[in-house]
Copies of this chain bind each other. A is one copy, B any other.
Amino acid sequence: MQSIPQSTKERILGAAEVLFAQHGFDGASLRQLTAAAGVNLAAVNYHFGSKDRLIEEVFRRRLDELNGRRMAGLARIAGLEETTLEDVLGAFIRPALELSHDGNGSLFMRVLARAFAEHDDTLRKFLSENYGHVMRQFTAEFARLLPHLSKEELYWRVDLVTGALTHAMSGFGMIQRKSDVTERTHREQAASHLIRFAAAGLSHP
């Protein structure tokens, strides 16, 4: 297998993901970031224009893929007679699990969690405009499977699922991985617990 040298742009994006996860968007400076990427300080502004635009690209790089997989998974099962709530939750959660098994993908889930905590209007608008349709599609499928719930009741429950998902997938929790369990297995357990927990929380009478 031939090794393909990473472009400066890719090196910056990779280092940014790691450092934003660890220190936050304000906490990670362009100096730390370019040093970690092994590129010149001025390269960020040359390739991205500003730090804010770099932040957006860090999201876009992962979310295009992540939400594409979610939509593909949903398309495969949505509307079928025998679809279960667990199937739909799996279509949403499993792509996040696969991402977090791949290289620094798990760190990206922490970046995403920071974006929620940030409450920044610009960032929220960017996420909502570019990826809002995914949540809407999934919510529509939940509505079909849970016809006993009012629209409002459903929205609240989906919102709480989002919270549990963000928490679990970004590794916020106090649950420490035991030394005899690989990190991969630990995350798989998290996803499996999450799917059953969310299904119960969504569907209770």
- Tell me the A residues contacting B by CB distance below 8 Å: 22-24, 26-27, 110, 113-114, 116-119, 128, 135, 153, 155-157, 159-168, 170, 172-175, 189-190, 193-194, 196-201, 203-204
Interchain residue pairs with CB less than 8 A apart (21): A23-B26, A24-B117, A26-B26, A116-B167, A117-B117, A117-B170, A156-B175, A156-B193, A159-B173, A159-B175, A160-B197, A162-B167, A162-B173, A163-B164, A163-B173, A166-B167, A166-B172, A197-B201, A199-B204, A200-B203, A200-B204
Q: Cβ of A117 and Cβ of B172 under 8 Å apart? A: yes
Q: Cβ of B114 and Cβ of A117 under 8 Å apart? A: yes
- Give complex CA distance A157, B175 in Å: 10
Q: A193: which of B116, B119, B157, B167 is its contact (CB, 8 Å)?
A: B157
Residues of B within 8 A of A160 (CB): 164, 167-168, 193-194, 197
Residues of B within 8 A of A119 (CB): 22, 110, 172
Residues of B within 8 A of A203 (CB): 200
Q: A159: which of B23, B24, B161, B174 is its contact (CB, 8 Å)?
A: B174
Residues of B within 8 A of A199 (CB): 204
Residues of B within 8 A of A196 (CB): 204
- Give complex CA distance A119, B175 in Å: 13
Extra inter-chain contacts (12) besides given A110-B117, A113-B117, A164-B201, CB under 8 Å: A26-B26, A116-B117, A117-B117, A119-B172, A153-B193, A156-B175, A156-B189, A156-B190, A160-B194, A161-B164, A164-B164, A197-B204
What is the minimal beta-carbon distance from A147 to any residue of chain B, in angstroms? 18
Residues of B within 8 A of A190 (CB): 156
Q: Cβ of A167 and Cβ of B159 under 8 Å apart? A: yes
